[in-house]
Amino acid sequence: MLKLLSSTAHTIHHANPSPRVGSNPVKTTLFKALSQLTGWNHELGRRRAFCSNQSDAAADPKSDASNPEASDTKSSSSVVVSTTTTSLDDYQTVIALPLPKKPLFPGFYMPIYVKDRKLIEALQESMRRQTPYAGAFLLKDDEASADSSSSSSTCETENVLEKFKGKELLNRMHEVGTLAQISSIQGEQVILIGRRRLRITDMVSEDPLSVKVEHIKNKAYDKDDDVIKATYFEVMSTLRDVLKTTSLWRDQHIGDFNYQHLADFGAGISSANKHENQGVLEELDVHKRLELALDLLKKEVEVNKIQASIAKTVEEKFSGERRQIVLKEQLKAIKKELGVETDSKSAFSEKFKERIEVNKDKIPKHVLKVIEEHLTKLQLLEPTSSEFDVTLNYLDWLTVLPWGNISDENFDVLKAEKILDEDHYGLSDVKERILEFIAVGSLRGTSQGKIICLSGPPGVGKTSIGRSIARALDRKFFRFSVGGLSDVAEINGHRRTYIGAIPGKLVQCLKTVGTENPIILIDEIDKLGKGHSGDPASALLEVMDPEQNANFRDHYLDVTIDLSKVLFVCTANVIDTIPKPLLDRMEVISLAGYITDEKLHIARDFLVKNTCRDCGIKPEQVDMSDAALLSLIENYCREAGTSAEGSTVLTDESATKTEQSEVVAEKVMIEESNLADYLGKPVFHSDKIYEKTPVGVVMGLAWTSMGGSTLYIETTFVEEVERKGRLRITGQLGSVMKESAQIAHTVARRIMLEKEPDNLFLANSKLHLHVPEGATPKDGPSAGCTMITSLLSLAMKKPVRKDLAMTGEVTLTGRILPIGGVKEKTIAARRSQVKMIIFPEANRKDFDELPENVKEGLDVHFVDEYEQIFELAFGLQFLITAEGARTVEHVSSLLMAEALAMREAMQEASALIDQLRLGTLWVRSKAAKRTSLLNVWFCTDSQELARAINSKTYPMEFSGVLMDIELLSSSFVFYYVSFIGRELNGIADALAKSALDSSVSTL
């Protein structure tokens, strides 16, 4: 710590050195004479000042001739005359004191603390001997100074003296220092006053450290030199700028400074680091010393400007805020005196009290108690406190909720049916279930306690059905989506201690609708997330449990709320991802996709009109034919719902062409032929990959959250591996589907051993089974029967019908198990022009519940054993026995399949189909004893077969053949032939080898 030497202290220490800085001078006759000579008044000399006459010359007048400082001192306003006979030059050996932080400049004083008793005693002894001088030297950058960088300079001196001694301490000090007068010693505190510059030449003793010193003088300079003068005045000007920003120094202190004193003063008061100050101390060239001091002062000015700017900014900010507060308080007082407005706390309290007075009787007592407590708390809080805003928001939420406000419900079933029919086309099963729900509510007088979950693909109307239910019941409607929601606070609310806390979605809903019994639609409940903030699905368990939601507690409100009167409707694309405990609380209503006829009706009566309105097109400007709509549905919008259809049915290009039409009255007509001009090339193509099904390919059925689709199973031969038959599976199949393929391979090998024991194709072949669209993941067990049929088709070299599709899970014993998505799969089959579908017997009830327009035109067979699928897939089996005649019970269904195949060529077969469905066939033999067993399989035009037999175009001659030909219809002729004798196998082989039709084969 550096301080300036006052004029009083300076004169005292030169006139009569004493052990105390504040000692009074001796008022002798000589002292009075000297006082008159110098013009110094000891009564006025107590002001702090940097003494300009504290130079070496003042202490040693004999050096005036050789020292330039002496000449400068003579021009000073005061001259100090020392009464001691000892000159400062006589001090050639001094005690060395380390200074860790800053060098001591001549004219400044600095307190240090010394605990070393030997050093204290040595300093006290020097004062008793009237030689109170020591050397003060700055420490270099070393471990000692670095370790104590956070301590004060006085404490650091103490630490350094304790840590280092003798030569080691000497090596850590700069050579150039200051001769310091010991002003006083008070306990461990030693106050030093800088006198002149020194340089260490040698060490005398180690404890305490004493050194030999050389008194160094300033280099000679010309004080009239213009450059030095200019530098001096620049330093003086800069120093005045520095002094303006601090009250510690006064401008008049620097008025009579000579050149070297001004440089020392400028460096001493600056906040420069110790290396820069040491550089000024060591510089003996006065001009260079002035330049170094000028650099330090310039930096000091810039630092002071920045500090002043920061202080001004802070002061303006606080003064502006204080001014606003005062003005606001004055404005409030004026308004209160005039009666114009009350204070904010009173206004808020009145508003909250008015809210609770409206339905005070309906508000629960525990809620009313909490409101009153917080109203009292609000009056005690200051409006500027953060707690005031928290309490204000809390009261706002509590008082705005519809406590006890219940809207009247409408249980008119006929009105509800009308509303549902207005809003939705089709969906008869869904509407029926909703009407049943409303009817039950009518009998009970309330519809609470039910949670409905609408499950189905996107775009089928799940959300709009929720709105229709609200319309039918005359309830308020609120919807929020939980798709991707992972923060449980969105359901239960945030704690009030959090910044920006708000209640959960359910409380927000009650505030928005204003009733306690709205319909809340929770959308995308199957896409709930789960993160570090909790599990929202678990939070919904309490909300949707009728036994618990009467006492639902939101974390923000922290009071119980009755949610039992709320009707919850949830939507999901699939229910598999909904947690089981949550799913158990719901009544699931499945919505399948729309068939083409329903989509056509919806587009014509609803979507076209809405899209025209949204595009700003008048009905008389644009028209769209049914053929164009049908093409749009099949080629552009094949998904289960109608969302994409609504956005695609009319594009902005329609409006553009309408505007560009030269004749305003001209109507833009959208036909099937020009549909691609508006929508571009078709997005979808036919699901049927094959026009004619090859060997080893069978069509299956699948369904996803987007609806149903057809799925081909392809099997091909890779290589022959004797008795090491293997099956390779591709198509991005899941683990369940891969297991189904392995089961299918095993079952197919067993069936081949039963049907054709000599056919070892599956046992000796490496096969490859593939499911197309490999980029789409597939899984599920329902393709088992399709895979078996594909393997058997390849093994027997027999293709299946091209309009046949099947689905069903197969066990190792050949049992067919039920599957899901019957409606979706049926719709997908119709879209792919499938005429025959094979379903498991257990799914018959699901198919019977489908609308008639979905089942129309389909030949559906229900099976529980794979043997039945085998007969349906590969053709008709005619059994001829030696007994002569027997009834074949199952031939009616087989004839039905044959008739459907021929229906493609001749449309008149409808009457025959109805006849054959219930008919039976008698096969008679003219020579029963000579008849043997023959199983003939064929899938061909019966008329062609009849002509071939009658004209005997087969390549072999036969004798003794008796034919019993029965004409069943004028349009279609079925010939059932019984062959006699040993020629039987030959004729069968001939038929197989004939070129009548590639699909004729015999066993």
**Which token pair is 528?**
């709930």
Q: Encode 678-740 in three state secondary structure.
A: HHCCCCCCCCCCCCCCCCCEEEEEEEECCEEEEEEEEEEEEEECCCCCEEEEECCECHHHHHH
**What are the φ and ψ backbone dihedral angles of 31, each rounded to 5 degrees?**
-65, -40
Task: Supply the Cα-derived Rg of the chain in whole angstroms.
Answer: 55
Query: How many angstroms separate the CA atoms of 872 and 867, rounded?
Result: 9
**Which token pair is 68?**
């330039």
Query: How many angstroms separate the CA atoms of 893 and 876, rounded?
Result: 9
Q: Which residues on neighbouring strands pair with residue 300, listed in sequence order? A: none
**Cα–Cα distances in angstroms (integers) from residue 972 to residues 163, 323, 604, 623, 954, in the given order:** 123, 107, 41, 45, 22
Count of alpha carbons within 13 Å of 386, Cβ hemisphere only? 5
Q: Which residues on neighbouring strands pair with residue 454, listed in sequence order? A: 571, 589
Q: Which of 476, 565, 825, 835 is catalytic?
A: 825
End-to-end CA distance of the chain: give it in Å, rounded: 119
Under 8 Å between Cβ of 615 and 650: yes
What SS3 state is found at 560? strand
Query: How many angstroms separate the CA atoms of 114 and 162, rounded?
Result: 9
Under 8 Å between Cβ of 344 and 383: yes
Query: How many angstroms separate the CA atoms of 24 and 12, rounded?
Result: 8
Helix (H) or strand (E) holding 192: strand 189-205
Residue type, 441: G
781 assigned binding-site residue: no
Within 10 Å of residue 453's Cβ, how many Cβ atoms? 24
457 assigned binding-site residue: yes
459 assigned binding-site residue: yes
Query: How many angstroms separate the CA atoms of 883 and 142, rounded?
Result: 124
Kindly tell me the burial class for residue 724, based on how many C-beta atoms sit within 10 Å of its own C-beta (0-12, 13-18, 19 or more): exposed
Under 8 Å between Cβ of 198 and 211: no
Query: How many angstroms separate the CA atoms of 68 and 57, rounded?
Result: 9
Query: How many angstroms separate the CA atoms of 707 and 619, rounded?
Result: 33
**What are the φ and ψ backbone dihedral angles of 451, each rounded to 5 degrees?**
-130, 115
463 assigned binding-site residue: yes
- Annotated catalytic residue 274: no
**What are the φ and ψ backbone dihedral angles of 30, each rounded to 5 degrees?**
-65, -40
Query: How many angstroms separate the CA atoms of 832 and 830, rounded?
Result: 5
Residue type, 578: I
The residues, any chain, with a CB within 8 Å of residue 278's CB and separated by 6 or more, are: 103, 138, 174, 176
Kindly tell me the burial class for residue 828, based on how many C-beta atoms sit within 10 Å of its own C-beta (0-12, 13-18, 19 or more): buried
What SS3 state is found at 552? strand
784 assigned binding-site residue: no
Q: Which of 52, 765, 782, 978 is catalytic?
A: 782
Query: How many angstroms separate the CA atoms of 551 and 494, rounded?
Result: 18
**Which token pair is 713?**
């199973």
- Annotated catalytic residue 66: no
b/e sequence 151-182, b meaning 16+ C-beta within 10 Å: eebbebbbbbbeebeeeebbebbbebbbbbbb
Query: How many angstroms separate the CA atoms of 967 and 942, rounded?
Result: 11
Under 8 Å between Cβ of 435 and 413: yes
Q: Is 324 left (phi over 0), alpha (psi -120 to 50) or beta?
A: alpha
68 assigned binding-site residue: no
Give Cα 692 to chain centroid, integer Å: 50
Say which residue the tokens 């928001």 belong to: 393
Residues of the binding site for ATP:
456-463
Residues of the binding site:
456-463
Catalytic residues, by residue number, are 782, 825
